[in-house]
A and B are shown apart, each in its own frame.
Chain A
């Protein structure tokens, strides 16, 4: 292949592939530059925190198996009593490669809670059923509350 026109053709083909890759990536891969404190304020203001208490890193490890020092920001509110199912976890990841791990931790916690209330806690089970787990770019949200949609909306608005 000593004809430069052949390589010019391949070059343009590659540029088209790049354009398609960038456009598709632009639609799905964006990360948020919103401060963790701003996001945390927005989501906590969108729900009633009375039945919950703020957790420390030890509790985060116990309930989710996550280490807060590995993330840009973590906020966890968990039920004040064993009979509560209200919970809020917000994580800002240091990079998006942590998303799978955080999502798995949230799914495990949800499954554990559902199992705990299965058969006797109808209200709690209903609350957990409508809970929202959302991973978007570098943020992850898990909310189990009376009106989780409000929290998700606050999350999306500030993302």
Chain B
């Protein structure tokens, strides 16, 4: 079930919140598990056993691991951790990568790849990484294992973050499920974040998505149209995922679980490293804490650091999808980071900040071409068309049409990429006293109503990150 649907907003969410509110605090985690399972099963009940397995298996594996650690059986604990992580990765790989690797092997041996694959359980990449975080936090002694199944299960399956993150680490959530408190301030702040997220998704991302779909359907593109398509998709992806994250964080806060932000204005980054401190922050932290640092991180030779970075970025690419385009996209970012950190280290400070931001945005946007293209061939074709490869010139009628019909959305999206609008609203709320608060609340209510009327009047648009 997606957050931006009428059934979620007016049926599931109110019912879930009322139920969660009326039960005693100690029973809330159990209710949270039950409503999360209903939320997950709503879309496709056939994948529910995969989620249930992840909850039960990791609880059991965590218990075994924790008890071995308690007894000081280091070697057995290491094997238990490795097996638990391997089972989690196998489950993820089975659904997500079997078709990709089997297809690649078949092509390598000149055979036609199978035309049927296993359907991907929604959110598997996210809840599997949460589960691995539980196991590794116990092994690395960042958190103690839990004897209480409810604590582990609620952490893995809590519905705000279940399908598309943020990938919250267990060490940051441990103990929070014992008696979660719902407070008025959390409710109001959470609702505010949720409405902002809904606005980003429904009014910006979906409109940008429609524009991008229109451009993608063209047989050939003038150079400017191809650039425009790339910009539309880059903005759509940001508002789609950041919107979902805002909604997830808002919902978690309403339920009594404050979660760190997942996006921090990534399109004003002045370098690739800066970009990854601002884009999908929870995933970056996960790879840093569970892959990069255990591999040696920065505390090793330059050669080893480069290798570590390449491993992390290859895995980051593969995490996003089972296709060579995602592998390339991961290596593209890894390569740029390596270049920035080692080759351009001193040059960076000589370049004005505005230029650094422009270059970063350009490189990130070009990376998204590989992200949205179904194959390497079509990605390269798109890039070729950005430089006039289609033979339709720099600008044609289609360019003017797509720019004209989406100009307001485009301007609104560009403004919303920066922090100024958000700051203005916050200042209005806090500095103008009671009048400012009334205006600010009115703005959020109007925004919510606009989103609802748009949802009612259009067909459902899924979230881009659901596919990962």
**B405 interface residue, CB < 8 Å from A?**
no
* Residue A33 lies at the interface, judged by CB distance under 8 Å to chain B: yes
Contact B119 A26 (CB under 8 A): no
B401 at the interface (CB under 8 A from A): no
Can you name 18 A-B residue pairings with CB atoms under 8 Å?
A4-B68, A4-B80, A7-B60, A8-B80, A11-B61, A14-B53, A14-B56, A17-B53, A22-B94, A29-B119, A30-B118, A30-B119, A31-B116, A33-B99, A34-B115, A96-B44, A137-B116, A138-B119
For residue A125, CB closer than 8 A to chain B, the reply is no
A interface residues, tally (CB under 8 Å): 31
Closest chain B residue to A67, Cβ basis:
B459
Beyond A11-B84, A14-B57, A18-B87, 8 additional contacts (C-beta under 8 Å) are A1-B63, A3-B67, A7-B64, A7-B67, A8-B80, A10-B60, A29-B118, A29-B119
A158 contacts the other chain (CB 8 A): yes
B71 part of interface (Cβ distance < 8 Å) = yes
Q: Does B189 reach chain A (CB closer than 8 Å)?
A: no
For the complex, what is the distance from the CA of A15 to the CA of B460, rounded to whole Å?
A: 38
Q: Is the CB of B117 within 8 A of A33?
A: yes
Residues of B near any A CB (own CB < 8 A): 43-46, 49, 53, 56-57, 60-61, 63-64, 67-68, 71, 73, 76, 80, 83-84, 87, 91, 94, 99, 115-119, 459-460
Given the complex, which residues of A lie within 8 Å of B46, measured CB to CB? 29, 96-97
- Using known A-B contacts A4-B71, A15-B87, A69-B459, determine if residue A96 contacts B119 with beta carbons closer than 8 Å: yes
Report Cα–Cα, A26/B71, bound state, in Å: 40
Complex Cα spacing A5 to B428, Å: 61
SS class of chain A's interface: helix, strand, loop or mixed? helix
CA distance A138 to B46 in the complex (A): 14
Q: Are B115 and A4 touching (Cβ within 8 A)?
A: no
A31: contacting residue among B56, B60, B117, CB under 8 A? B117
Whether, in the assembled complex, A111 has its beta carbon less than 8 Å from a beta carbon of chain B, the answer is no
Q: Mark A75-112, 1 if CB is under 8 A from B, else 0.
A: 00000000000000000000111000000000000000
Contact A31 B118 (CB under 8 A): yes
Query: Which residue of the partner chain, among B64, B91, B115, contacts A18 with CB atoms under 8 Å?
Result: B91
Chain A residues with CB under 8 Å of B118's CB are 25-26, 29-31
Q: Is the CB of A97 within 8 A of B459?
A: no
Contacts of B119 on A, CB cut-off 8 Å?
Answer: 29-31, 95-96, 137-138
Bound together, the chains give a CA A69 to CA B459 distance in angstroms of 8
